[in-house]
Amino acid sequence: MITIKSASIIVPSEPTPNGILWLSESDQMMQCSHEPLISIYKPNNNNDDIILPFSSETMKVSLSRALVHYYPLAGRLRSADGGRFELVCNAMGAKLLEAYSEAEVADLGDFAPTEAHQDLVPKIDYRTPIEEWPLLLVQLTRFRCGGFCVGTAICHTVVDGWSAGTFISSWAKLARGDDLRPDEIPFHDRTLLRSRQPVMPPRFDHREFSKPPLVIGSLDAKAEQKKKTSVALLKVSRKQVEGLQKTTNEILDDQTNLVKPIRPYSQYEAIASHIWRCACKARAGDDRQPTRVRIAVDVRNRMKPPLPRRYFGNAVFITVTSTCLYGELLSKPLSYAAGIIREAAERMTDEYIRSALDFMTSQEQVGSLRINFSVQGNTEALSFPGNPNLVIPSWVKLPLYGTDFGWGKPVYVGPGMLTVEGKSLIMSSPASDGSLIVALCLQTQCMDSFKKFFYEDMI
């Protein structure tokens, strides 16, 4: 049981730029809903670090200071022509809630983002006009045992995962009493991702904007959307990660000799391939069932020239694998799936990205494209990302576990909820020992089988 004790609006502590901040097409493609994140802190971490007492006033003052640098988060969205949005920098502020829970941190179990954890994240009433929605909401929940949860909800139109992570890390640094270095100040000019003028015709077949495959025999995904889902957190040890990578990189040639790929498959490629194959097995579909995976690619270092390191906004582009069949994935080695995933990511070159920007800019109504990228529970049937498909982003490189507000590092950082079937997340473990955590939402009827295959098929 969580009780909301107070609610306040936090505005920047100093004057900030006013007016319209141009949103890139990559911003426009992201849903305008808020991505929930929870950071859990246990009381009195048993270490030699100096642990500061929790102070809601410190959290408010430091957030106010952070919003000076991250002033777009204190603004509001408004609708524009063609289904687009505008970001109005007006310093209306972020919403901060203070809450108390009778539970203890230990009662949260393995922190799987089930319905029981949704109360740790602030809620947004999407029935109200969009101009009234705070772009940043924070909920500070204190547990009976003395632990804390910092739950944030940040509008995805405004930031990607990296930007959200750097904001929270900067806020934490200010809360500890430190100042931001010049190289830690966010970069707000999003015109670096503006399409070329005049807009050129796309130079590629942008399959990422096409509709995903359906279950064989279905005309839409409505039946799949209605099926009950379950959420799980699956721990993968460093040894298991290394074993999967070893298996992925053992490729048989036509003479059944072991050969090595020109460039070894990465940790992500190995884990994502394993998740894909296990989902195909657990779903137990026809061998002729088509399937594909949606992947998020950070393009900061793929652009020419690269985007500034502290680029604040959506520099993530969505790509999809080529469509293949269950039978192909399950009858061939893990390297087959890894190769398909690699091809999808490597497609995102500077030229391809700029072609995608041209394609998006040329659309009179971007809403029809945005629907295909949406991962909300109320998506239309045609945009459903689940069965027989998957969404597998990685949070491994996001700056999440450094968020020390003065109480020590969090014992867990992860999604506040995961409600869309077929969506998974690959995350770092708080142990920082090379192990990983896979968060997964799957149809309940498939979850036990998935877990069985997930661990049995590892070496």
Nearest alpha-carbon partner for 439 in 135, 36, 155, 164: 36
| H helical segments located in 9-110 | 25-28, 56-69
Q: Distances in Å between the alpha carbon of 273 and those of 266, 296, 402, 440?
A: 11, 15, 29, 14
Q: Which two tokens stand for residue 445?
A: 């009827």
Which long-range contacts link 367-370 to residues 24+ away (Cβ below 8 Å)? 367/83, 368/83, 369/29, 369/209, 370/28, 370/29, 370/30, 370/31, 370/83
Cβ atoms of residues 213 and 292 within 8 Å = yes
Q: Which two tokens stand for residue 25?
A: 């097409």
Cβ atoms of residues 37 and 414 within 8 Å = yes
Among the listed residues 69, 117, 156, 206, the single catalytic one is 156
The dihedrals phi and psi of 89, each to the nearest 5 degrees, come to: -85, 100
Q: Residue 382 carries which DSSP code?
A: G
CA-CA distance, 58 to 281, in Å (whole number)?
Answer: 50
The angle at the Cα of 194, spanning 184 to 312, to the nearest 5 degrees, equals: 20
CA-CA distance, 219 to 191, in Å (whole number)?
Answer: 40
Burial profile 280-290: b = 16 or more Cβ within 10 angstroms, e = fewer:
bbbbebeeebb
Cβ atoms of residues 241 and 435 within 8 Å = yes
The answer to whether 274 is a known catalytic residue is no
Q: Torsion over CA of 45, 48, 53 and 58, rounded to 10 degrees? A: -110
> For residue 230, what are the β-bridge partners?
442
Q: Distances in Å between the alpha carbon of 82 and those of 79, 209, 397, 429?
A: 9, 17, 34, 42
Helix/strand/coil for 294: strand
Peptide bond into 388 cis (omega under 30): yes
Among the listed residues 119, 160, 358, 404, the single catalytic one is 404
CA-CA distance, 395 to 404, in Å (whole number)?
Answer: 18
**DSSP per-residue codes, 175-228:** HTTPPPPGGGS-B--GGGGPPPSSPPPPSS--GGGSPPP--TT-SSSHHHHHS-
The answer to whether 433 is a known catalytic residue is no
Residues marked active site are found at 156, 404
